[in-house]
Amino acid sequence: MTKKYRSYSKKEFEFKLREIYKNNNLFCKLVDVTERVGEIVPVYEHVYSVPTKSSAVALLIYSSVDIRNARTREIGSDAVRIVMQWTIKKRNAEGQVIATKRVYRKIAKHLRIDTLFQNLEKTILSNYTTTDLKYKDFTAEKDFFTGLS
């Protein structure tokens, strides 16, 4: 059985992401972090950061929406990828942040088929209340993004 791949626009993708949070009564501040990720490694799709219950953890969603035309890319078998970003802050004795480090862990990869947004919703909800963070399961920013390119 051949899978039928779905196309969508940037606007539709953002709407569907916000809808996932709204339908589950969760706060959603959807942030397009494409430019920030692009400073680390070349990126050709919009990348979004969505919150979790922990302010130190966000999910990065690689949308498959091309940055040049705001539509899904031509490659039919393209997938939406989800990465967990954990921001670790080192503080001095006065409580001031003196260093910040981001580490990453691959969470899921969903094909752009009809069930994409249902699958994405399951992944977001199962990682929204993440409390089981083990540093050894994450990769440093430099090493993580080198592996993606």
User: Which residue shows structure tokens 């950061």?
Assistant: 49
In a domain, residue 51? The reply is: yes
Which domain range does residue 110 map to? 10-148
Residue 5 located in a structural domain: no
Domain-located, residue 3: no
The Cα–Cα gap between 142 and 95 comes to 27
In a domain, 36, yes or no: yes
Each residue's pLDDT tens digit, 18-49: 999 999 998 878 899 988 887 877 888 999 99
In a domain, 64, yes or no: yes
Q: What is the pTM of this model?
A: 0.84
* Residue 75 counted as domain residue: yes
Residue 21 φ then ψ, to 5°: -65, -45
Instruction: Return the pLDDT at 144.
Output: 66
- Higher-pLDDT residue of 75, 139: 139
Mind giving me the DSSP string for 84-145? EEEEEEEE-TTS-EEEEEEEEEEEEEEESSTTHHHHHHHHHHHHHT-----GGGSEEHHHHH
Evaluate whether residue 1 is within a structural domain: no
Indicate the number of domains in the chain.
1
Please determine, for residue 148, whether its predicted confidence score (pLDDT) is greater than 80: no
69-95 confidence digits (pLDDT tens): 999 876 666 789 999 999 888 888 888
* Inside any domain, residue 77: yes
pLDDT at 149: 41
Residues 101-132 have pLDDT tens digits of: 888 999 999 998 889 999 999 999 999 987 77
Predicted confidence at residue 129, as pLDDT, reads 86
